[in-house]
Structure formats: C-alpha cells, structure tokens
Amino acid sequence: MEKYISFIADTKGWLYESLSDTINNEFNEYGAMEEPTISKQFDGSEIPTANLDFENRLFDLLNDLSGLLYEYKTIEK
C-alpha cells in the first residue's frame, strides 16, 4: 500500500484543520481503492483456507481506537 493514515498529536488549531482538509481532499480524488482480497489457484494444488476475518476485525479495532483517542483528546481536564 502506497498511502496510509497515521495519528496526529493535536486536534485543535489551524495546523490540524489544514492537515485534515489536505487528507480529505487527497482521498476524495482517488479513482480506485485497494481492498483486501482472497486469491485461490485452480491448478490442482491444495487450496488454503483463507478468509478476511483478521482484516475485518483489525479495521473495526482501528476505528474504535481512533474514536477513543479523539474523545480522550477533546475531554476538558
């Protein structure tokens, strides 16, 4: 994968707004998106039992983690 999204330290201020807008604009202009796939060969070799359970659980976990980090950062202390 050539591009990825990382976490940033602060979610307030003009720097965050600028980065957020830049990232959103970049991803909005994509013509294609890479998605996890399962490949099977039909040449007589043994077919592995592959599934996308790990990827599905990982993406859900990353979504939960980013939500928790955002809530933690925005809570007034």
Sign of the C-alpha dihedral computed for residues 19, 20, 22 and 23 taken in this order: positive
pLDDT of residue 29: 80
Does pLDDT of 39 surpass 80?
Answer: no
pLDDT over 90 for what percent of the chain? 3
Q: What pLDDT, on the 0 to 100 scale, is given for residue 41?
A: 74
- Cβ–Cβ under 8 Å, residues 5 and 23: yes
For residue 21, give every residue at least 6 positions away whose Cβ sits within 8 Å of its Cβ, in sequence order, or none.
none
Q: Is 23 exposed, middle or buried (0-12, 13-18, 19+ CB in 10 A)?
A: middle
